[in-house]
Structure 1
Amino acid sequence: MTWGLRPQVIAKIRSGHGFVAMKDSYKPYRHLEFLTYSNIRSVIDFTDSEDVVNGFGLLVHWSDNDPQERLLTFKINGDSSIKTELINKISQMMCTSNCAPSPVSVGSLLRLKHGL
C-alpha cells in the first residue's frame, strides 16, 4: 500500500543534455555573520533578575561605514559557571587580539617610562 509519498525535488533546470539537479547557489545561513574579536568593544555581564538569568552582552562596532555601536545580548542555558567561563574566555581572546604591542606603541611606552 502506498501512501502517496514521493521524494521531493527542490529544483531542476534543463540543460542541453536533459534535466540536471540544480546546484546550491545560495548560502544556507544567510542571517549569520562572523564577528571578529577586534569588532567587540566590551563584554557586559548582566546581573541575574526575574526576567533574565545567565545573560551577557557584547557591545560591537560592525564597520567603519556604520558609526553606531550595537548591543548583542545572549542567554546561556546552563550553569552560571559556564557563563563566567565564557565571558572570561571572550575577554581573554579580545585582549590577545586587540592588545598586541606594535613597535610604535612599545617605543612610546619606553619614552614615557624613562621620561624621554
Structure 2
Amino acid sequence: MAAKKIKAAKKAPRPARKAVTVKKGVPRARRPMLPQIDIRPHQLVPTHEKVAEKERTAILERLFASLKEVPRISIKDPGIRHLEPKLGDLIRISRKSPTAGRTVYYRVVSQGTVSNV
C-alpha cells in the first residue's frame, strides 16, 4: 500500500471579516408605509373578541389559572388590532374544529415578548 499524499491549500485562508460599525447621526432610510390589510374576513382567521372584566374573573376561576399562567398574544397581532387592546386584556379566540365543532382559546395581550405582560 502506498502512502497517500496530502495536498496543501493553494491559497492562504481569507482573513476574518471586520465588525460592522453603525455611524451615529446618519439617518437611515425609512420603509414606506404599507396599507393596513384587514384579515378578519378570511375563512382561516379565527374570531377574536375582548373579554369583559366580570367575565374575565369567572373564566380565570373556571380555568384555575391566574393571568400570568394564560398564554400570551402580541399587541401587534393583526387578528386583534381592530379590538384596540391594552396590555393585560383577555382575548377569546374561537376556532372551527372538524371534530369538536368549535374550540375556544384564551390569550392575554402582551408586549410581544414572553417575559412581559
Give the structure with the larger helix fraction.
Answer: 1
Name the larger-Rg structure: 2
Using CA pairs under 8 Å that are at least 6 residues apart, name the structure with larger relative contact order, 1 or 2.
2
**TM bracket, shorter-chain basis:** under 0.3
Q: Return the TM-score normalized by structure 1.
A: 0.23
